[in-house]
Structure 1
């Protein structure tokens, strides 16, 4: 929910860009909303005769309404009314932070009311957009207000529960960042404060799940699909806040006009340059999306394959007709007792992992490690540093031919825990001849109801990827029990034993 610019600690701009002869008027505004709350905002209004199409931008977590000023001016130059507002509870907007709850949906509707009362807006051509926090709220407003005609959601989520609590594992680094920055730049509502405290303390989990479900756009697909709301989603493969699997599932369930842009990077990093007005593939597509669905421009975006996915490190963009077609076939590799990944899954082996031990394999630092990938700097590790005493490590032979990984790798593990709870973290690396590994993908999963001493199957869906492993390299799978990104359920002195049969399914394109 926090934009990269917010993580750096500041607003994007304080005034509209200057031009010799602006085609619009600009002013600061206040929007009255529910509970007597005033929302801080600004608006660009074209000087030409209306009615005009409009776009409403909602601020990211920890940012305010000037975040989109450069892009708003670009849209205004083309004849759009552009209203931006600071989400409630942040900076000069009143009320308490509702974390994309019903009060935030109502604020979006009040912004539309303001446009209708104060500008020559075309009521049938109003779009909503945002990065991160603003993107999720934009989808939720569209699900609850029929006046929203199109949406662009950047760095968004479909399932907030899975984003923060996937596989019953708390994403503690993401939680800490959101909680700390939210309190520094805003005011949590009493209900939000209670929920955030509960998450940190790992209590009242059923209530947490209900709270997150209300705030998940994927749970309102019936409303979005009934109106066939055109929705463009733009996310990153390396997201550590809103990881891609839940976004892919949400996108697959939308039946109206839709587009999915996937980039290499982390939360908001693929969109940061565009915020400052620098040319950007995803922001260019956002313009094309609104130009087509709000102004009727025949720019071809409706005829392109709906998915545009960047391949790691190549900057190549591949096109797909749907999520399923990203993967052409699946190759199963068995885990063996001698540490090999191969075509056969041998029986009769096991590998005991001590709980709560970090092997040095790592998913990195929230936003930072993945964000560097946007600029061509991979998350790397000398795989010789991995502590084999506390991790299971399996490698393929040197590849004679490269592998095109496209989609979601799946682990099918058999494990026996000595305690009722424990956590497993799985990493997939591309390893060169010198042992340097580039992290391809990873995932954490927690056992909360294990029967000590009894073997159980643990399916793990690693996060989706688009990655070419070169010939001459190896694939390496590492499984340990601790990573700084996650809150674990490990019991000191216990073990989790990985055993036969276990396998890794690779999605090949």
Structure 2
């Protein structure tokens, strides 16, 4: 995809920016700053590690320095002009703002390293350039980014003590968990990332080898080690030792970086921290802010840097650390910590399915043993939808919905509550405790939790996949499954439905053709009540 860069040549004097700067995507470009702005702007080339050059742009206030600085790192498949609107907002408040394109994409050299050691070293080189070429306050440098750039921010902060604060939007704490949770490959996310990387960038030889291994499901130990090196959680002790202030903003419906691994990472950070949780999928809550539209999460990002880089007493450090948006009502609730967000659990037993193929979810344990046999590798009609799109539409009030009467009862196991007498609050990660008996050594279970109205319309609340890779055929085994966290109110009169099958298009399953897996008693689901 072609990219149009406007402005002065790299290395030239600071100049007023052009009337507009084009994005590397089809999205409408935000209006660039005008000649009346209280800052100057230019395009720059920055030496990266290994002799490559990184493409970037910088805003510098015209008032005397030193100034605090924000460094933006581009998202996957985008480039440094992604943040023009927000960079201008920060510059108007007296920040130096430097944005750069990650290696391997567009006009930046090198090959895509997927937040690896070369990317971390590049981040330090960018800070070197900032110190050498701008009147920056070296003790007040913050890193920020959406998605790909958000992981960079945490990783660079763990390795470079000059980073004073981080804003990480749509980020990850554990890349292994993000792509290979419960020993199940997240093929929808992988296909999107690999395909867009091939189209818009250049993979390094080592990255290409890793992607080929992931696609072929081989060399798994090597894949896991590769992911750990690229996980902010691996370096959490370094972040905690320096008490780096970290603001994380993610969505419940994330199909790239699910909320559970972010909650674990956030919970174990011991420095100043804040977590915003929003309805939707990857980057949806932050996209409007890139266009200059007012945004709750971007406003919090500004407040975070204003406090930790400018010393502004705006109260963000005294607010409850977790702000969680609730599905459909869009109200924002606050919590002291992850335990407070989840609250207590209500345990409901899975009971014997009826002749129609549906069992009850209730507090009473079944009085007799039962089993529901699922044919492996067959899609029941329930699925998590299209990566980013299906959950992303929830940002705009459109649920990921299906008519439950069309679900194949011979392919799926279904358990439902009676119509609720009062609204049921779900806050956190529902947990399954299943007993299963596979007929083959490997198998995959996909579990979904639905909010079902009186007409049988089911809105997907959350889901998760879990693979058994070393099972003993014919032997029952207990399988704990933590569904992805949510904040969802199920209205009175609706039912909660748990559905379990063995196939979903966004996952790479481990099913064996012709095999079966039996869900049997005792099995239960525990609902987080917040």
Return the TM-score normalized by structure 2. 0.94
Aligned twin of 1:101: 116
- Work out the CA distance in 2 between the residues paired with 1:383 and 1:284: 40
Q: How far did 1:329 drift?
A: 1.4
Q: How far did 1:14 drift?
A: 6.4
The question of whether the paired residues in 1 share the 8 Å contact of 2:170 and 2:283 is answered with yes
Aligned twin of 2:160: 145
The question of whether the paired residues in 2 share the 8 Å contact of 1:13 and 1:69 is answered with no
Aligned twin of 1:113: 128
Moved more, 426-435 or 20-29: 20-29
Choose which of 372, 378, 392 in structure 2 pairs with 1:357: 378
Q: Helix, strand or coil: the match of 2:190?
A: helix
Aligned twin of 1:381: 402
- Work out the CA distance in 2 between the residues paired with 1:446 and 1:381: 25
- Work out the CA distance in 2 between the residues paired with 1:100 and 1:11: 25
Choose which of 202, 219, 226 in structure 1 pairs with 2:241: 226
Choose which of 469, 473, 482 in structure 1 pairs with 2:494: 473
Q: How far did 1:19 drift?
A: 2.9
Summarize the Cα distance change of 1:433–1:9 in structure 2 as closer, same or farther, 3 Å threshold: farther
The question of whether the paired residues in 1 share the 8 Å contact of 2:352 and 2:360 is answered with yes
What runs of 5+ residues in structure 1 fail to find an aligned partner? Answer: 1-7
Aligned twin of 1:340: 360
Q: CA RMSD in A?
A: 1.1
Choose which of 419, 433, 455 in structure 2 pairs with 1:412: 433
Q: Helix, strand or coil: the match of 2:124?
A: helix
The question of whether the paired residues in 2 share the 8 Å contact of 1:420 and 1:449 is answered with yes
Deviations 1:237-292 (CA, angstroms, capped at 9, x unpaired): 00000000000000000000000000000000010000111000000000000000
Deviations 1:442-483 (CA, angstroms, capped at 9, x unpaired): 000000000000000000000001000011000000000000
Q: How far did 1:317 drift?
A: 0.2
Aligned twin of 1:286: 301
Choose which of 224, 233, 248 in structure 1 pairs with 2:263: 248
The question of whether the paired residues in 2 share the 8 Å contact of 1:261 and 1:307 is answered with yes
The question of whether the paired residues in 2 share the 8 Å contact of 1:129 and 1:152 is answered with yes
Aligned twin of 2:3: none
1:503 equivalent to 2:505? Answer no
Summarize the Cα distance change of 1:13–1:387 in structure 2 as closer, same or farther, 3 Å threshold: closer
Aligned twin of 1:4: none
Aligned twin of 1:488: 509
Aligned twin of 2:469: 448
The question of whether the paired residues in 2 share the 8 Å contact of 1:345 and 1:500 is answered with no
Runs of 4+ in 1 over 3 A off after TM superposition: 11-16
What runs of 5+ residues in structure 2 fail to find an aligned partner? Answer: 1-22, 354-358
The question of whether the paired residues in 2 share the 8 Å contact of 1:13 and 1:67 is answered with no
Counterparts of 1:6-85 in structure 2, within 5 Å, are 10=25, 17-19=32-34, 21-85=36-100
Aligned twin of 1:429: 450
Return the TM-score normalized by structure 1. 0.97
The question of whether the paired residues in 2 share the 8 Å contact of 1:12 and 1:66 is answered with no
1:259 equivalent to 2:279? Answer no
- Work out the CA distance in 2 between the residues paired with 1:201 and 1:293: 45
Q: How far did 1:327 drift?
A: 2.1
Aligned twin of 2:420: 399
Aligned twin of 2:148: 133
Deviations 1:463-505 (CA, angstroms, capped at 9, x unpaired): 0010000110000000000000100000000000000000000
- Work out the CA distance in 1 between the residues paired with 2:438 and 2:379: 17
Moved more, 249-258 or 10-19: 10-19
Aligned twin of 2:328: 313
Q: How far did 1:328 drift?
A: 2.3
Deviations 1:3-31 (CA, angstroms, capped at 9, x unpaired): xxxxx971657686233511100000000
- Work out the CA distance in 2 between the residues paired with 1:136 and 1:372: 24
Q: How far did 1:70 drift?
A: 0.4
Count of residues paired in the alignment: 502
The question of whether the paired residues in 2 share the 8 Å contact of 1:403 and 1:468 is answered with yes
The question of whether the paired residues in 1 share the 8 Å contact of 2:29 and 2:291 is answered with no
Deviations 1:42-101 (CA, angstroms, capped at 9, x unpaired): 000000000000000000000000000000000000000000000000000000000000
- Work out the CA distance in 1 between the residues paired with 2:277 and 2:182: 23
Q: How far did 1:357 drift?
A: 0.4
Summarize the Cα distance change of 1:13–1:436 in structure 2 as closer, same or farther, 3 Å threshold: closer
The question of whether the paired residues in 2 share the 8 Å contact of 1:13 and 1:66 is answered with no
- Work out the CA distance in 1 between the residues paired with 2:514 and 2:158: 49
Q: Helix, strand or coil: the match of 1:295?
A: coil
